Amino acid sequence: MDDDADPGREGIPAPGHQAPSGALLDQALESLQASAVAVDDDGLIVAANSAAQNLLGRKAPELVGRDFHDLLHRDRHGHAMPRTRCRMRKALLTRQTMHGDAEWFACGNGTFVQLSWLVTPCALGPGVTGALTMLHGPGQEDVHPGDDRHSAPLTELDRLALLAETTTQLTSTLDAEEALHRLAALTVPRLADWAVFDLLTERDEVRRVLVAEHKDGILIERDDLQGPMPPVPSESPMPLSRALRGAASSLVGPATYQGPPDSGIAVEQQRLFTETGMHSAAIAPIRGLRDVLGALTLGRAQRHDAFTPADLPLLEDLTRRAGLALDNARLYQRQRKVAETMQRHLLPQLPVLPGLEMTARYVPAPDASSVGGDWYDAFALADHAHALAIGDVVGHDLDAAAGMAQVRNMLRAFAWSHPEAAPSSVVTRLDEAVMHIAEVPMATMILARLTLAQDTLWHLHWTNAGHPPPLLVTHDGQARYLDEAHGILLGTGVSRHRPDAVTVLPPRATLLLYTDGLVESPRRSIDHGLDRLRRHAASLAHRPLDSFCDSLLDQVRPGDNDDDVAMLALRTPSATQQQ
């Protein structure tokens, strides 16, 4: 269809694909400060403004009349994005407003650019519908210092673009500091010369966390204006104090703080206006779902125009989105603290075994809420033997972590009370308990009994309940999986005989117990992960045990792994040490 495009005036649809809105649509798109493309209900490009043409490196005749998805949208490998997986097409077909972040688009010169996008339904003309697609690149500034548009008031479409961009930027991070920097970059210099964030801590203390201005195309922080603030006065009528108590947004100027200060916060505000040279500012509270989280101040110093009441609704829309982002970030941090606390209290101290080295590792999942059910344990038994265990309770949440604690505690009780029992017998009793008294859906585990025999060698007696097999690495670099004694996992309700196996651990050998997060990947088979672990472990046979474990985590754990990892490793002494 692009062969028929008219190479004449840019923005005019190709013959045979008549734009329903013609010059009016072109004019509307050009008035936007964002890169914008209009498409019809079939996904064909109707018009593109000059900002979009520059961003994509394509002139209007190369765009108009072409299918937006087929021409431009790519996956992270640079291949055509399958239509069934394209959220942009879904938004178009369902006439919904959707946005995406950091997706790839093909430029006219054969390169690719990573952009955020917003698709929203719109009318292209009388009785004709379609969608408006706005594009924005990471770090891209739509307004530049000294540009005449810098002082121009935003149109309604500009406001829509800014709010959509803010939503995309703030919902794609769970880091509070990063979210505030992104919002500052979106508002300065587009709306103001300064952005100031004051946040309330969980103890209701105030901290000025960010004071930023725009210089030479980058955001500059004023560290000297940041830091702890005086407490919020309960009766002060001053704008920032009122905003931090949740009052409505307001307009502020230097004269607001020229009189005698009524509080420590007013003193800081006087200093802020003096140091920044702001002649006009707007302050709005940042509200979370339940509480006031802080306040945002946007100030103008170089710009000659002052804020007006018409600017306050946009500021409140921005702070609402900031409040949601901060709420999510704080919830994320609370969940991470819960995860760290549970890990610290539920995972045991390792016993000291004469002549044996032993160490363990636990790496939580990237998602703070996915504390997981991975665990390890090592403890003494009544008959001078020691028990080793590793397991994984199904699930990636606090319930899984609590279930892990139940399983581990019951295992300890059964193993201690029956020290002469084979590992398979203990695990069978544990399986029955899991089915009847534990709140655990299913679990995998290995239970091993470690003893020092009369031949001065360490013997390992174990059973495996559906868990990845132990790995034995000899000092000469041979590595093999102990894949005997493999039975079904816990919690299935199926009664089957559980096997046991026994092996002798050679001198200076390394035994590794681990959970599946070390070897599983969404993109590769478990066999690939096991082979990778075996090869790397063999190459590290001479490493000190701590270095052995750290190197395995660094070299073997899949980069796309979203699971936690537990490891328990021990190394036998040399033959001379054993004698």
Q: What is the pLDDT of residue 206?
A: 92
Give the C-alpha distances (Å, rounded to integers) separating 216 from 181, 220, 524: 17, 9, 46
Domain borders along the chain are: 2-136, 152-334, 347-578
Q: 2-136 with 152-334: one CATH topology? A: yes
Q: What is the pLDDT of residue 525?
A: 86
3-state secondary structure 328-382: HHHHHHHHHHHHHHHHHHHCCCCCCCCCCEEEEEEECCCCCCCCCCEEEEEEECC
Q: Which residues pair with 451 in a beta bridge?
A: 459
* Predicted TM-score (pTM) above 0.75: no
Nearest to 424, CA basis, from 413, 415, 437, 412: 415
Class of domain 2-136 as given by CATH: alpha beta
Q: Which CATH architecture has domain 152-334?
A: 2-Layer Sandwich (3.30)
Are β-strands 218-221 and 73-74 bridged in parallel, bridged antiparallel, or unpaired?
unpaired
- The residues of the chain scoring below 70 in pLDDT are 1-22, 137-153, 336, 338-347, 366-372, 395-401, 560-562, 577-579
Q: What is the pLDDT of residue 345?
A: 64
Are β-strands 486-487 and 458-465 bridged in parallel, bridged antiparallel, or unpaired?
parallel
Q: What is the pLDDT of residue 398?
A: 63
| Four-way CATH pick for 347-578: 3.60.40.10, 3.40.50.980, 3.30.1490.190, 3.40.980.10 | 3.60.40.10
Beta-sheet strand order (sheet of 357-363): 357-363, 565-571, 510-514, 471-473, 479-481
Q: What is the pLDDT of residue 376?
A: 92
pLDDT digits (tens, 9 = 90+) for 404-448: 878 888 999 999 988 889 999 999 999 998 888 877 778 899 999
Q: What is the pLDDT of residue 435?
A: 84
Q: What is the pLDDT of residue 371?
A: 58
Instruction: Report yes or no: 498 and 424 within 8 Å, Cβ to Cβ.
Output: yes
pLDDT digits (tens, 9 = 90+) for 360-381: 998 877 654 455 678 899 999 9
Instruction: Report yes or no: 238 and 260 within 8 Å, Cβ to Cβ.
Output: no
383: left (phi over 0), alpha (psi -120 to 50) or beta: alpha
